[in-house]
């Protein structure tokens, strides 16, 4: 339970007083005035820091640090106001050590080891690296990243280890030890640390090059030219993230801010030298210690075109490296922004562990820089060998058969958490992405993916289609006064195109909606489109083959009638999304209580013949009192899957695009709810020995 929950009564009292006085919450970019102050009876973060001499250097830094571009106050003033904060407080010794190290580095911009000589800009940078605008205890994190970024929009990772005396040691970012944890004050928690937090401002290729343990991969990254391509960060340097949209036409949710940033970021999956050098880890049976030998391995899977021309996209080594780069920044374990898999996330009544219980695999699928390729990332279900791991291209379920025996070396690669990497002071997070090491060599084989790893029902949360939402702090953020709903501007997402001026697209944070019967979306969040909408999005690349396409939505009287297209061609008749008797009759949903299994199967078949399916049983509703008959999407009459049709998908230039167009007559005020999307190989649907399950 975080500080917001612990101090809920305090916050309610504060909110009531502020509303009574007519005050309005403002962000830290605004002026802090006397009217914003609240009289606390206990010690505040600012008081605790001032009252303890061991933080005198940090106090000087906070006093020099400005709140924001528009604000006149300082950071110490911020920590004496209402709200909830986590303050990572470095001791005087920690600040002295940090300033000495920085003053020896010409690139740091800090030329003196005296705290009094710091510029306001440097002080602001240091201060914001040590504050999160929500209070968390260490128990709220339990390994992995703190749920929110620091004020500098950088993650803080908590790892634990047990020393020889049996004591549990907690470290932040693989270096700073917490020497006093969870010091509770009126407006948050203080974590006292023995090293100042200093996230890397390097770009990914430069950070990787710092470690000799990754020299072969680093050399290959540079030789192929991918090091330059992943230096690109700004999409539009003039983007204004302070804009606000009026909000939903059809819902009184208030204004919707734009995303605060518009940046490209990446994840780099890297094999260390000792993995390449181990002959038992590859089917060549010999060490891989040179670029030539690494190219030889890659040619076994990616072809022998243009050998030695490493910068050519047709070269095998170039393809090998490209498949190691994911198009978004993903953290090993994050209870919020940017995790590989949604886990441990709580926002109001919504709980990810209820939404997707550990009794089922949790998987997501990401495109890489290798053209037309896909990567499967899985947190395996409980009771399996790898249940506590993040696994790349997981293929260990019953019935799995290798299509290429050589691929036995390269499937089920486990991602290593940063604190397990045996490199002193290893820093995985960079300015434009994250480095993760893996325990197997990573290979993409089209036949293996088509016939094995991806020969399954693939399901994406629709917001996972668009890397911009993960890269810029939109997806799985936490609700505050600004971000209940985020407006997605036109052309913000490369794979999402608005086709009419009357289309408005919004991102909605995960919410359980207990007051509405407990309904929650797959992975919690959703796109909600309103107006007289007409838009399209590109679906992910999958191996060449025939697939059934479906999308999940929730019925509502606020929905309308849509026409669906694939690559410009009409797919069937219009679909009525409203919760009316007429729409329900067309869908054929049924209450399966007291039915036999055979009766349920027959009803499912009849429903599918009409072009619809119930929601997935693996996605649970956040109910206060769930039961066997109401606990998941399959039991909700509003949670529907629409079957778009069966289509051949391939390596089409520009990809395959789904278009959704409102065709409701005489309406300009409608909603379209987009929750998740499924791409299912027809080989799965036509396998009588292993029929598709209801999950």
**Domain range annotation of the chain:** 3-193, 204-230+261-327+368-453, 458-685
Give the CATH number of domain 204-230+261-327+368-453; options: 3.90.1720, 2.30.30, 2.30.180, 2.30.29. 2.30.180
The pLDDT of residue 434 is above 80: yes
Residue 360 — very low, low, confident or very high, per pLDDT cuts 50/70/90?
very high
Give me the percent of the chain exceeding a pLDDT of 90. 65
Task: Report the pLDDT value the prediction gives residue 625, as an integer from 0 to 100.
Answer: 62
What pTM was computed for the model? Answer: 0.89
Question: What's the DSSP call for residue 387?
Answer: T
Cα–Cα distance between 86 and 37 in angstroms, integer?
19
Mean pLDDT of 195-218: 96
Query: Which has the minimum average pLDDT: 39-53, 199-213, 451-465?
Result: 39-53
In 10 A of CB 168, how many CB atoms? 9
Task: Report the pLDDT value the prediction gives residue 3, as an integer from 0 to 100.
Answer: 46
Here the tokens at position 538 are 């590109």
Task: Report the pLDDT value the prediction gives residue 513, as an integer from 0 to 100.
Answer: 67
Q: pLDDT digit string (tens) for 566-621?
A: 999 999 999 999 888 888 889 999 999 899 999 999 999 999 999 999 999 999 88
Higher pLDDT, 109 or 259: 259
Out of 29-33, 233-237, 248-252, 463-467, give the one with best mean pLDDT.
463-467
CA distances to 211, 299, 367, 392, 616 from 441, in Å = 19, 14, 18, 11, 34
Give me the CATH code for the 3-193 domain, please: 2.30.180.10
204-230+261-327+368-453 shares the fold of 3-193: yes
User: Are the C-beta atoms of residues 87 and 182 closer than 8 Å to each other?
Assistant: no
Higher pLDDT, 126 or 396: 126
The pLDDT of residue 277 is above 90: yes
Q: pLDDT digit string (tens) for 34-46?
A: 333 344 457 999 9
Average pLDDT of the chain to the nearest whole number? 88
Q: pLDDT digit string (tens) for 111-165?
A: 999 999 999 999 999 999 999 999 999 988 877 889 888 999 898 999 888 888 8
The pLDDT of residue 492 is above 50: yes
Residue 460 — very low, low, confident or very high, per pLDDT cuts 50/70/90?
very high
CA distances to 158, 357, 457, 458 from 631, in Å = 33, 12, 22, 23
Q: pLDDT digit string (tens) for 28-80?
A: 343 333 333 344 457 999 999 999 999 999 999 999 998 764 445 789 998 99
User: 316 Cβ partners below 8 Å, 6+ apart?
Assistant: 295, 298, 299, 301, 302, 303, 304, 305, 307
Cα–Cα distance between 448 and 375 in angstroms, integer?
12
């Amino acid at each position: 339970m975080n500080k917001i929950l612990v101090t809920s009564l305090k916050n309610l009292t504060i909110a009531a007083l502020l509303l009574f006085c007519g005050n309005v919450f403002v962000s830290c970019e605004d002026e802090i005035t006397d009217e914003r102050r609240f009289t606390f009876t206990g010690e505040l973060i600012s008081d605790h820091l001032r009252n303890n001499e061991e933080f005198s250097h940090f106090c000087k830094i906070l006093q020099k640090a400005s709140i924001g571009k528009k604000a006149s106050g300082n950071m110490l003033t911020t920590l004496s106001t209402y709200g909830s904060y986590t303050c990572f407080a470095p001791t005087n010794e920690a600040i002295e050590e940090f300033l000495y190290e920085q003053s020896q580095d010409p690139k740091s911009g800090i030329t003196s080891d005296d705290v009094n000589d710091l510029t306001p800009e440097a002080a602001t940078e240091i201060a914001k690296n040590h504050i999160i605008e929500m209070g968390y205890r260490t128990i709220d994190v339990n390994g992995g990243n703190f749920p929110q970024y620091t004020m500098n929009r950088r993650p803080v990772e908590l790892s634990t280890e047990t020393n020889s005396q049996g004591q549990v040691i907690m470290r932040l970012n693989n270096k700073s030890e917490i020497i006093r944890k969870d010091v509770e004050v009126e407006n948050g928690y203080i974590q006292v640390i023995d090293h100042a937090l200093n996230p890397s401002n390097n770009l990914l290729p430069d950070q990787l090059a710092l470690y000799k343990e990754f020299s072969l991969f680093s050399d290959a990254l540079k030789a192929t030219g991918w090091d330059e391509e992943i230096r690109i960060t700004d999409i539009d340097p003039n983007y204004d993230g302070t804009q606000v949209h009026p909000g939903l036409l059809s819902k009184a949710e208030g204004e919707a801010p734009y995303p605060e940033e518009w940046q490209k970021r990446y994840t780099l999956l890297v094999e260390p030298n000792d993995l390449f050098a181990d002959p038992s880890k590859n089917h060549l049976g010999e060490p891989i210690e040179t670029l030539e030998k690494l190219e030889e391995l890659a040619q076994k899977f990616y072809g022998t075109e243009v050998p030695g021309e490493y910068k050519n996209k047709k070269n095998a080594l170039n393809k090998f490296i490209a498949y190691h780069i994911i198009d978004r920044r993903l953290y090993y374990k994050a209870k919020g922004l940017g995790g590989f898999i949604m886990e441990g996330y709580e926002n109001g009544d919504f709980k990810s562990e209820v939404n997707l219980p550990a009794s089922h695999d949790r998987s997501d699928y990401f495109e890489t820089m290798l053209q037309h390729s896909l990567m499967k990332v899985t947190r395996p279900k409980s009771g399996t060998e790898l249940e506590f791991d993040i696994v790349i291209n997981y293929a260990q379920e019953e019935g799995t058969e290798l299509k290429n025996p050589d691929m036995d070396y390269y499937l089920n690669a486990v991602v290593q958490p940063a604190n397990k990497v045996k490199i002193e002071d290893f820093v995985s997070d960079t300015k434009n992405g994250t480095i993760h090491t893996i325990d197997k060599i990573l290979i993409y084989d089209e036949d293996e993916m088509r016939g094995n790893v991806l020969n399954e029902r693939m399901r994406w949360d629709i917001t996972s289609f668009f890397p911009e939402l993960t890269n810029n702090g939109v997806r799985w953020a936490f609700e505050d006064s600004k971000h209940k709903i985020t407006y997605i501007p036109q052309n913000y997402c490369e794979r999402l195109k608005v086709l009419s001026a009357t289309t408005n697209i919004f991102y909605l944070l995960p919410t359980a909606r207990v007051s509405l019967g407990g309904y929650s979306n797959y992975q919690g969040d959703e796109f909600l489109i309103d107006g007289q909408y007409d838009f399209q999005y590109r679906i992910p690349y999958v191996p060449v083959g025939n697939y059934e396409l479906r999308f999940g939505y929730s019925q509502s009287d606020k929905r309308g009638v849509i026409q669906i297209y694939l690559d410009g061609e009409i797919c069937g008749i219009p679909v009525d999304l409203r919760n009316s008797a007429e729409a329900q009759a067309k869908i054929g949903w049924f209450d399966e209580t007291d039915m036999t299994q055979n009766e349920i199967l027959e009803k499912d078949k009849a429903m599918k013949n009409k072009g619809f399916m119930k929601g997935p049983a693996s996605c649970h509703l956040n109910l206060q009192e769930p039961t066997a008959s109401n606990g998941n999407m399959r039991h909700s009459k509003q949670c529907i899957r629409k079957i778009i049709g069966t289509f051949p998908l391939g390596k089409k230039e520009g990809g395959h695009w789904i278009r959704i167009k409102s065709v409701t007559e005489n309406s300009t005020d409608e909603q379209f709810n987009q929750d998740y999307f499924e791409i299912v190989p027809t080989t799965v649907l036509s396998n009588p020995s292993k029929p598709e399950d209801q999950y």
